[in-house]
Every structure is written in structure tokens, then in C-alpha cells.
Structure 1
């Protein structure tokens, strides 16, 4: 049995590693990143996402308090979340769209995804991502409901990443995803539970169920597409999965809001 002090030290180290993995915050963990440490720490990715969502919610609330419209406040909130994450997930979405949409062979698709330049597919994907999320937040409008939606979206969108990494093999042996390793079942289960809890607390069990179903279907479709086209997942694919998750949760929140 692990001593209590060591247990909490490991928890804090995992939290810091997860935050440093998906944000630009200077919270790098002293825990070595080798020997599967990153994969084990993936259970904390939803909590790192919660921090991002809270930052976006704070900026949205502040913008409304200063008299800005929901449209402008939503844009500032999205800019904040992109800044905190270093646009890591947006970059993954753009590279995924360019690679899967532009290459003819597996090798060419992977080559495009590693190219730092952005193509037409990537630009279109980013426009759609920002446009859909911005429209959803502006439609929700109420600062408290926006806060719930942002926190739920950023938490739940990252909750499925460990499962995706565990179930879909890496497409290349030397990529970011391959070096991170495959998350153990415990990390997958904890991350999923955190995501489900965030959805339930933010929107109630009914909306949470809808969100979980949509996230699962999106993950299955993206996994099948990635395996068929490039042989598995990469860090870019994981970023695209996170972005799709954000979009779906925010759209669900907006649709229920508009439907009363």
C-alpha cells in the first residue's frame, strides 16, 4: 500500500504533468517523463482541461461586466483558451485535416501532418471550429451557463483522450503519441469518470448522456478514419479529437439552451 504522502505527491506530479502537456503554463512536473509516466498521468487531462475552461469563463464574465456583447465576449473567451493551450489542439485539428484530406498515400499523409505549413483543409477546419464554438457560446449568452458549458466542454473533450490512446495504436514509432505510451486501464477509467461527472454537474444527466454518446461516436469515427488512412493515431489526431469534443459539447449546450 502506497503511503499517503507518496500518494498525494504522485497525484500532484500527475496534475502538473497533465497541465504542462496540454497548456503553456509553467508547471512542469519533476516526475520523469520516461517509463510510461506521461501515459499514467493522462487521468488528469480532464482536470487540466477544467483549468482552461475556467480561464475562458472568467474572461467571458469580465467582458460582459465591461459591457461587451455576448458575441465579443465569446470571441475573447476562445482567444483565452487558445492562448493558454498554445493553440495545441487547434494545430492538431488543422494538421489532421490537411493530412487526411490532402495526401494520397499513408506516407504522404503523415508527411503533410508533420509539415508546419497549413493548407486549405486546415484553414477550413479552423474556421469551422472557431465559428461553431463562437456561435454556440454567443447563443448560450448567460455568463453562468457559458461557464458551465466551457468547463464541461474542456473537461469532457480531454476525458476520452486516454481511451483513444489506449485503443488506437500509434501511426508512427517516433511521434509524440508513441513516446507518451499507452495509458493503463486505471487512468482511462478515472479520466472517463471525471468527464462524465463534469457533464452531469454542468448540464444534468440527460444532456450528459447525449454528450457522452456524441463524443463516443465521434471518437469511433475518427479512430476508424485514422486507422484506415494512416494506420493509427498521432498527437495531431488526439488534438483533432479534443477539438471535435469541444464543439459537440458546446453545440449540445447551445441547443438545449435555445430549446428551453
Structure 2
């Protein structure tokens, strides 16, 4: 496997994947067509490396070496051909992902992956010339702290590609699980179930968001409650996933009206400063 790693999309997940890949020794191209988002991602990555040095997680020399391995660009067509892996990490919209994956495949990666958390690999592979090299690599937020990665094997994914993905996960410092290609896979299907029910509980006036979260943290030993997690993931992302699962499995995944109205109002969670909680300076208030 070569040492070139491409990430397409510089949102929360994309920049996290790029950060981890650069730290694992890959030369990383982070592709983002939106100049403002690209600039924000570069600033966020600088803060991550500075914070890691301040906490003693990295030496200054190691942080500088990781920075030097990362390049931010705006066009996947400008990425050099035949990288080891390309990971698509754009928003959860089927048409957008298909377009991005087609452009990525033209760069002839050894392994092509999507970071989707809910869309079936079989649907995303439509139109690809080499679907045997394509699979899901579902990372978790924050990428640098979460050990789990889902390797999602599509119906056309070759065994060698799945093996390469498991090997890649190890190099990135992740602990993989291998799952079949089903809507929501394993983690989103379970996690969204809990998150949607917690939102319905808020709408029903069962308890405050803070108390609902406290119940799961103290009663079930979850590291973070389902509503705070929804704020961290993004309410718009949760809504997209819920809609995908609703189409696949029926009304048990129907998006709660409260979730739809909050997204319509622009209350998307941490990234907008307001979701189920207020956020300032990246911290819950």
C-alpha cells in the first residue's frame, strides 16, 4: 500500500479523518470545494495539533511532521492518481455522494471508501467501474478519540478490499468491526433509535434534555447522552440518517417533528452554537 491518503469533504468528519491519517504517516490530500470551509478546516486542524502538543499527546516535532504531510485543495481532479485510499466524507445525500465517488474513482485509488453512516453501499456503488474496490469506512466523531470503525462490505466488495480496509484501520489506530451492507449498518441503526426516542421524550415533556442525558450516562454508563451526542453529530446529519432509515425500515425511524423543526430553524447543534444545548467556544453551556 502506498502512503497517499485522500479525504474528500472538510466537514467535521473529513477533517478528523485527515488528522488521523496524517498522524499515521500518510501523505494526505484534503479536498474541499468550498473555500471558506477549507480555510476553517485548516484552522481547526492547527488547533487540534496545538492542543495535542499542549496535552503532551504529541511532541512539537511530531505535530509539525503531521502538518507537513497534509495538503488542502479544492478539486479532486488535481489529486495525483493511484493513491492508497480515497475516503468520501461529504453530506449524506445520495446524488452528491455518487457524483463525488465517480470523480474519486477516476483517480484510480487502490481502495475507495465512503464514510456514510446510513446509505447502503449497494446504492452508492451504482455507476462505479470497479465496485470490487469500494466499501464503507464509517468513522466516529471525534475521529481522533473514537477507536471504533465500521468496515461495511458491499455486495460487490472483493475479500481483498475488505482485508485491506481492516489492515488500514489498524494503521490508523482503530479497532474495526466488519458488517454487512444494510441501511444504518450496526451502529447508526442502534444509535439513531436511541437518539430519536430521546427527542420524542423532549417533545413529550418527559424531562429536560440534560436530565434525559444524565439518565443514560449514570444509569447505562454511556459516555455521553443521546441528545448531547445529537448536538455533536449535527441535527441535520441525524435527520438525514433518520430519513434514510425511515425509507428502509418504516415508521419506527420516522423523524420526530421536533427534529425537523429544529433543523428548519438552523438549530443544528454544536456547529451552529445551538441545538438541544447552547455551545460557546466549542463547549456545552
TM-score category, normalised to shorter length: under 0.3
What is the TM-score when the length of structure 2 is the normalising length?
0.26
What is the TM-score when the length of structure 1 is the normalising length?
0.28
* Structure with greater proportional helix content: 1
Structure of greater relative contact order (alpha carbons < 8 Å, 6+ residues apart): 1
* Structure with greater proportional strand content: 2
